[in-house]
Amino acid sequence: MRKIINEPSDFVDEFLEGILIAHPGQLRAASADRRAIVRADAGRPGKVGIVTGGGSGHLPAFLGYVGRGLCDGVAVGNVFSSPSAEQVHAATRAVDGGAGVLYLYGNYGGDIYNFDLAAELAAADGIPTATVLAADDVASAPPERRDARRGVAGMVYAFKIAGAAAERGWPLERVAGVARRVAESTRTIGVGLSPTILPAADAPTFEIDEGEMEIGIGIHGEPGVHRGPLEPADAIADRLLAALVEDLGLPEGSPVSVLVNGLGATPLEELYVLYRRTAHVLAERGLAIESPFVGEYVTSLEAAGASISILPLDDELRELLADPAASPFFRHGGGDVLDVAPDEGPGPFDEAEEATGAEGGEPSPLAAVLLRVLAALPAHAERLRELDAALGDGDLGITVASGAEAAARAIRREPSAPDDVLLRRIGSAFASANPSTFAALVGGALVSASAEVADGLVDRAHVAAFARRAFDRIADRGGARLGDKTVLDAIAPSLEVLEAAAEESDAELVEAMAVAAERAIDELTPAPSARGRAAWLQERSRGRQDPGMTAYAVFLRELQAAIAG
């Protein structure tokens, strides 16, 4: 790994500090940890605020689209990981001008769970919100499952057009409506030539040989739907455009805007070669290109590759697209960048305060066991990363390791806390440490299920009730069903073992639960994944072990070892 960084764990915070120092008249921090960043003039009275967000590693997305005629705020997660609900909420409060706030971001589970929770927090503050998801990647799901598609470079059109509508003073319902129309109309597909390397992982997210290309690549390094020999630029463009045009089904003469996007390491010259062929092909099909965009708009760290997006235009969208816009990273239509004096809110040099509380005290029996389990989990990070990289973005190892460390810190602050309080704190810490889909689902489940042990974790009936409620919460929030090849399929058989427990010792019971979970993993590995990012690989997910199921089985094995002593 060759990167210009210091400590990998400091990468995001250090580049954010650099951006805030470089653009003090245009951007300001809205939270002490600098993970909520807004326009310098955010919170203008009567204007709808627009908040976006997602993982780092995609500059200029998402932070680059905070500016005049664009979004008003952003919540910034770790590399390829969702921001936390608290960070989204901080951005929401900072951009609210009394007209409501639109949440506009990509269709990823972790982002959805955390933005939804932020919306609940905003509602408690009296701030109305609306949500629009970008889901433009045609390679990630067929047309009949369009709602399952992931958001990629086409989301830039939604930022630009919704931002123009809000700048004109449109009400929240109308801004959300035009953003939704753009999101539903845009189509994107990409090609990858080399993987990306997460700073904290020190390994590529997937392997691709020289002379090969991956069609349908995701912006987190997710594998695509076809791998084959590298083709000439014209053949690549033809392949991508065939998928886009078929999915759009536009009549001859339709006006469109085209965005050719580089993934981070592709020379601009090569992007123009792709655009050249794109223009010729669309002209031959009778489609008229207006307002083309060529450059880097949504990247994937240092990945080589490109994507093509198409947005069909009508008179309203054409006018909004032409409106001026400007941020430190994006200018269009002659827009001027903001240049105002920073306000008195949290600035780039404010130090985040961590409320640690007093540590010490004798650990409860539950705390003592969980501390041993949590200490053991980071050793499995690399294996989980490898499994996740084959089906998703490769961050599960980081999620489990950082979540375990954060949960352990939460326990040590008050190890003698009642069991329900302890579990609630563990869930919150795990969800916030690296707010991925897995973290949000598991952390939220622990918080919800902690109510089942409010009287103390005194017998197996309490344990079973806790586990059942956690299972139900994950199912409700994640939307998966048994057989979809998700963590639910590992939890379900182990839960049956727990609920049928008789005279076994605790160690024997957990051993039986682990065996049941591992059997489910073996049975479902040959099946295709039907939910989450792994489902975007469709048939290529067959034969791949589900990383979430594996993480749960690992937890049970470490729990059994901790109980056995």
Cβ atoms of 67 and 118 within 8 Å: the answer is no
Phi, psi of 264, rounded to the nearest 5 degrees? 135, -30
Residues 110, 439: Cα–Cα separation, whole Å: 8
Q: Give the DSSP H/E element, type plus range, for residue 408.
A: helix 396-413
Residues 219, 196: Cα–Cα separation, whole Å: 10
Residues 314, 317: Cα–Cα separation, whole Å: 5
Cβ atoms of 327 and 70 within 8 Å: the answer is yes
- Give yes or no: 89 in active site: no
* 464-to-20, 389, 470 alpha-carbon distances in Å: 49, 33, 10
Residues 469, 447: Cα–Cα separation, whole Å: 10
Cβ atoms of 539 and 504 within 8 Å: the answer is no
Could you tell me the end-to-end alpha-carbon distance of the chain, in angstroms, rounded to an integer? 39
Secondary structure (DSSP) of 101-126: EEEEEE--HHHHHHHHHHHHHHHHTT
Residues 384, 390: Cα–Cα separation, whole Å: 10
Please pick, among 220, 280, 332, 462, the residue that the annotation labels catalytic. 220
Active centre residues (catalytic): 220
